[in-house]
Structure 1
């Protein structure tokens, strides 16, 4: 019974969070600042959720950090998304074997 109550509360909260903006905001948002803020929110949330996990994705923080550095370097030199991801995985894997 307790588990069912938890699931029902989570479902209600999730629904309210998603349905409330649709019901409140009927007009187009005209504020440039608010538009810019809402535009960058998904990137900020994605970064906040992803970045800490990067360091604990392997058995060693050192190999994960080296993979992150490889991804930064590849991205800095405008490598594609696939090349950047493969470089990060390859460096993390190789250094994970030797560290």
Structure 2
């Protein structure tokens, strides 16, 4: 019984902070600069998640991951389809690994 109460308590504690913004955000009028800043957070978070992976693709030669990430960034910059970006980065890293190792 005690374990069930702990689990229910943890569920409530994590659910409430996720639910409150749904009701509050519609009533707020944010300044333009804050709205712009909030829209850029997903890109910053994605970069923080991807960049360490780029450097650790091949631990003995991190330049392989950097080149693969550069190819992906270049294709994405020119608005290439997401599948093309992913496949080009994978293919670049694969070819460089076969060529250098």
TM-score (norm 1): 0.68
Residue 79 of structure 1 aligns to a residue in which SS? coil
Number of corresponding residues:
96
* Greater than 4 Å deviation, 4+ residue runs: none
Which protein has the larger Cα radius of gyration, Structure 1 or Structure 2? Answer: 2
Distance 1:45 1:14 in 2: 21
The alignment's TM-score, normalised by the length of structure 2, stands at 0.67
Q: Measure the CA separation in 1 of the matches of 2:41 and 2:15.
A: 20
Cα gap change, 1:54 to 1:14, in 2 (>3 Å): farther
Q: Distance in 2 between matches of 1:42 and 1:78?
A: 18
Q: How many Å separate the matches in 2 of 1:30 and 1:45?
A: 21
Q: Runs of 5+ in structure 1 lacking a partner?
A: none
Q: Which structure carries more relative contact order (alpha carbon 8 Å, separation 6+)? A: 1
